Amino acid sequence: MDLKEIRSQFPILSQTVNGKPLVYFDNAATTQKPNTVIDIVNEYHSRWNANVHRGVHQLSNVCTDAAEAAREKIARFINAAASDEIIFTQGTTDSINLVAETFGRAFIKPGDEILVSQTEHHSNFVPWQQIALRYNARFVVFDCHDSGEWDMNDFYAKINAKTKLVAVGHVSNALGTVNPIKDVIDKAHSLGIPVLVDGAQAIQHIPVDVQALDVDFYVFSGHKIYGPTGIGVLYAKTQWLEALPPYRYGGEMISKVTNTYSEFNNLPYKFEAGTPNYIGQIGFGAAIDFISQFEVQQIATYEHKLLRYAEQKLSDLEGVVIYGKSDEKAAVVSFLIDGIHPYDLGVLLDKTGIAVRTGNHCAQPLMTRLGIFGTVRASFAFYNTFEEIDYFAEMLRKIIPMLK
Ligand code: PLP
């Protein structure tokens, strides 16, 4: 991969922050956008904008075709069996709420159980907890080890005939752990239980094949894979999309409406009520085109080298504790420095142009389990460089004595 060429396609990367060249290590929160994404969003707003699906005129048809082409691209990218299995949502959080609300309404009864892991992002925790409360079901959490890896014995002990759904993350946003989701899916399926996988932190880092995984629901956000904000995907097997009731009601999701009843539209539109974020979809499609120029495996290998390099550099510093000790990790390093508040470190790093995230990373149950309130998190994308990590380590070396 030609890094210089890749970086030149992301205009934000060549700017300064606080008078210093930007070092953007907050990619798990959101990724930056290449020119192709920025340009296409601008082009469709300035040249082609018209509402989709219901038009007879040219602009509407152009937008409709481009928005639907994005659905096809995403289906191919994750190897879905059909593009109708791709539902556009506002993002990962919206996708999970869609499944939690509709699955809950259709299938969750008092005494049922919903099983999640201790390491989930709040987006894949709170919706299930609240659905369980609403239907008098049990919300069951399986444990992780101190390393951040799942305690699979606890998973095997807690899944049972009462479990109605398992919801787990592919990659931990807080620690970077790549989780053994295939083992979870295979075990759940042996008991006839469907599995939702939160792919928000996996889709941009590792190849995802939903048919090979045999996963029932797989969700992710456009903005974490170089696309626009406000657009995301719910992939679901056709059998589930047919079995679930609609999420929201309104235009587009109906085929017939009378004073007394309504008939719902075919897939995927049954789950896409109202005017969709069609320009977001088009931008998302451009992001998929962008990333498809590379092998996702090639990206993963490079990012893994960045990760191990950063971990090594951090370990050389006194008082650093790294959280998330797994052989299988995506490009996230979470750490604390003895006696220093993560927030103070984040603020001083910002003064040097380095953007990291501090806090609980929307994973309070995990932080509680690890006995900490938060960490500093540096998360990498394939436009980051070893030189940026050297600079990061050098700045930490200067900042640490100032905060002690
Ligand atoms: N799940 C994980 C693992 C995440 O990292 C995030 C965002 O950080 C989300 C869900 C929520 O994604 P969004 O805010 O795009 O809905």
Which of 175, 179, 362, 379 has the most ligand 1 atoms within 8 A of CB, as the residue to mutate? Answer: 362
Residue 54 above 90 pLDDT? no
> Looking at ligand 1, which residue's alpha carbon is closest to its atom 8?
29
Average pLDDT score over residue span 48-66? 94
Residues belonging to the active site: 362
> Looking at ligand 1, which residue's alpha carbon is closest to its atom 6?
200
> Looking at ligand 1, which residue's alpha carbon is closest to its atom 5?
173
Q: What is the pLDDT of residue 326?
A: 94
Which of 27, 96, 128, 173 has the most ligand 1 atoms within 8 A of CB, as the residue to mutate? Answer: 173
Q: What is the pLDDT of residue 371?
A: 97
Q: What is the pLDDT of residue 1?
A: 80
Which of 88, 97, 126, 201 has the most ligand 1 atoms within 8 A of CB, as the residue to mutate? Answer: 201
What is the distance in A from the centroid of ligand 1 to the CA of 394? 31
Q: What is the pLDDT of residue 17?
A: 97
Structure tokens at 11: 């205009």
What is the distance in A from the centroid of ligand 1 to the CA of 373? 19
Q: Beta strands 23-24 and 20-21: pairing type?
A: unpaired
Average pLDDT score over residue span 336-365? 97
22, 398 contact by CB (below 8 A): no
Q: What is the pLDDT of residue 2?
A: 92
**Does 1 or 83 have the greater pLDDT score?**
83
Which pLDDT band holds residue 360 (cuts at 50, 70, 90)? very high
Average pLDDT score over residue span 215-239? 98
**What's the order of all strands across the beta sheet hosting 217-221?**
86-89, 232-236, 217-221, 195-198, 163-169, 113-117, 138-142
What is the distance in A from the centroid of ligand 1 to the CA of 225? 12
Ligand 1 atom with the shortest distance to the CA of 90: 16
Which of 27, 89, 93, 204 has the most ligand 1 atoms within 8 A of CB, as the residue to mutate? Answer: 93
The Cα–Cα gap between 272 and 275 comes to: 8
Which pLDDT band holds residue 199 (cuts at 50, 70, 90)? very high
Q: What is the pTM of this model?
A: 0.98
Q: Which residue has the tokens 């210089």?
A: 4
Average pLDDT score over residue span 8-26? 98
What pLDDT digit, counting tens, does each position of 245-286 carry? 999 999 999 999 999 999 999 999 999 999 999 999 999 999
Residue 150 above 90 pLDDT? yes
Which pLDDT band holds residue 318 (cuts at 50, 70, 90)? very high
Average pLDDT score over residue span 127-139? 98
What is the distance in A from the centroid of ligand 1 to the CA of 332? 14
Q: What is the pLDDT of residue 404?
A: 84
Average pLDDT score over residue span 116-145? 98
Q: Which residues contact 359 (CB under 8 A, 6 or more apart)?
A: 342, 343, 374
Average pLDDT score over residue span 43-49? 98
Ligand 1 atom with the shortest distance to the CA of 362: 8
Rg (CA), the chain: 22
Which pLDDT band holds residue 55 (cuts at 50, 70, 90)? confident
SS3 track for the chain: CCHHHHHHCCHHHHCEECCEECEECECCCCCCCCHHHHHHHHHHHHHHCCCCCCCCCHHHHHHHHHHHHHHHHHHHHCCCCCHHHEEEECCHHHHHHHHHHHHHHHHCCCCCEEEEECCCCHHHCHHHHHHHHHCCCEEEEECECCCCCECHHHHHHHCCCCEEEEEEECECCCCCEECCHHHHHHHHHHCCCCEEEECCCCCCCCCCCHHHHCCCEEEEEHHHHCCCCCCEEEEECHHHHHHCCCCCCCCCCEEEECCCCEEECCCCHHHCCCCCCHHHHHHHHHHHHHHCCCCHHHHHHHHHHHHHHHHHHHHCCCCEEEECCCCCECCEEEEEECCCCHHHHHHHHHHCCEECEEECCCCHHHHHHHCCCCEEEEECCCCCCHHHHHHHHHHHHHHHHHHC
Q: Which residues contact 396 (CB under 8 A, 6 or more apart)?
A: 314, 317, 337, 345, 349
What is the distance in A from the centroid of ligand 1 to the CA of 77? 20
> Looking at ligand 1, which residue's alpha carbon is closest to its atom 4?
200
**What's the order of all strands across the beta sheet hosting 375-379?**
320-323, 332-337, 375-379, 357-359
Share of the chain above pLDDT 70, in %: 100
Residue 337 above 90 pLDDT? yes
Residue 43 above 90 pLDDT? yes
> Looking at ligand 1, which residue's alpha carbon is closest to its atom 12?
92
Q: For the stretch 267-281, what's the b/e string if a residue is b when 16 or more beta carbons lie within 10 angstroms of its beta carbon?
A: bbbbbbbeebbbbbb
Nearest alpha carbon to residue 280 among 13, 67, 31: 67
What is the distance in A from the centroid of ligand 1 to the CA of 42? 25
Q: Which residues contact 70 (CB under 8 A, 6 or more apart)?
A: 281, 282, 284, 285, 288
Over the chain, what is the mean pLDDT?
Answer: 97
Domains of the chain listed by start with CATH number: 3-33+296-403 (3.90.1150.10), 39-291 (3.40.640.10)
What is the distance in A from the centroid of ligand 1 to the CA of 123? 6
The binding-site residues of ligand 1, defined as CB within 6 angstroms of any ligand atom, are 28, 91-93, 121, 123-124, 169, 173, 198, 200-201, 221
Ligand 1 atom with the shortest distance to the CA of 30: 8
Q: Is the peptide bond before 268 cis (omega within 30 degrees of 0)?
A: yes
Q: Please list the residues that pair with 218 across neighbouring strands.
A: 197, 235
Ligand 1 atom with the shortest distance to the CA of 198: 1
What is the distance in A from the centroid of ligand 1 to the CA of 313? 28
Burial of 197 by CB count in 10 Å (0-12 exposed, 13-18 middle, 19+ buried)? buried
Residue 97 above 90 pLDDT? yes
Q: What is the pLDDT of residue 134?
A: 98
Length of the chain: 404
Q: Which residues contact 138 (CB under 8 A, 6 or more apart)?
A: 111, 112, 113, 114, 132, 162
Using alpha carbons only, give the angle 31, 362, 18 rounded to the nearest 5 degrees: 50
